[in-house]
Amino acid sequence: MKILMNKKGQVRTLEALLAVAVVFAALLLTRPIYVSYDNLGDYDVLYTMGLNVLVQLDRDGDLGRLISERNWAEIADRLSIMLPLGVSFNLTVYDEESNILNDRPVSGGAINSKCVVSIQYILVDRSNLRFYVIRLQLAWMK
């Protein structure tokens, strides 16, 4: 009966439980910071890869010509062979007034990764001197 009535021990056990809660709360708070910085290296690599692919695609004015012809299937085919396997993509083409030109998705794979990179590329079609803004989104496939 004496042991049960001793409140001091119970309070200290309560303190210990509170300490556990504080420590785990601290751990939970640090986790999101760690995750958000986790893939910075991947961002750099994906960005460089995307820019490199767009530069190659635009060589000799091919990309501008394909956009003028609205040949979205050809652009998607070229991107899928140029990008490494395991990288999904989605390409959007805008005109001077920021209207989307591609009436169908120019994509390969699903962009549902945590690490998605968006590359903006500006080009002028040499045949008709039209100006386009291209946005290429890349992500590692899960």
Partner 1 sequence: MPVTSLDTLLASSIMICLVLASMASVFAAIQPFLKHQVSHHEVEANLSLAEYLLIEAGMSASWGSNINESLVIFGLANQNSPVPFELNIDKVTRLNEKNIYNLSFLEAFNSLNMKDKPFRIIIKPLFNIAVNLASREENDSAITYRFNILAERSNFPVKAALKCYAVIKDYVVSCSSQTSSLGEGLIEFSLPKSLSGTALLIVFAETEPKMLSYTVHRFSHNSINPPSSEGRYALLSPLNYTLRADLNSSNRILHAMIFTYNYVFNLTETEGDSAIQYFIIPKILDESIMILVGTGLNASSSECFAEWVSYPQIPLDFGLGFTSKYQLADSFSFRFLVTINSAIYECEVILWRS
Q: How far is the CB of 41 from partner 1 (least distance, A)?
A: 4
Give, as ranges, the residues between 7 and 36 that touch partner 1 (CB under 8 A).
Answer: 8-9, 12-13, 15-16, 19-20, 23, 26-27, 30-31, 33-34
- Using alpha carbons, select from 135, 142, 139, 109 the residue that is nearest to residue 54: 135
For 48, phi and psi rounded to 5 degrees? -60, -40
Considering the complex, state which of residue 57 and residue 93 has its C-beta at the smaller distance from partner 1: 57
Among 84, 104, 122, 128, binds partner 1 (CB under 8 A): 84
Q: Which residues contact 88 (CB under 8 A, 6 or more apart)?
A: 107, 108, 109, 110, 111, 113, 138, 139, 140, 141
- Per-residue 3-state assignment (H helix, E strand, C coil) for 86-99: CEEEEEEEECCCCC
Q: How far is the CB of 56 from partner 1 (least distance, A)?
A: 5
Q: Counting contacts by CB under 8 A, is residue 53 touching partner 1?
A: yes
| Interface region with partner 1, contact rule CB under 8 A, candidates 56-64, 93-101, 105-113, 131-139 | 56-64
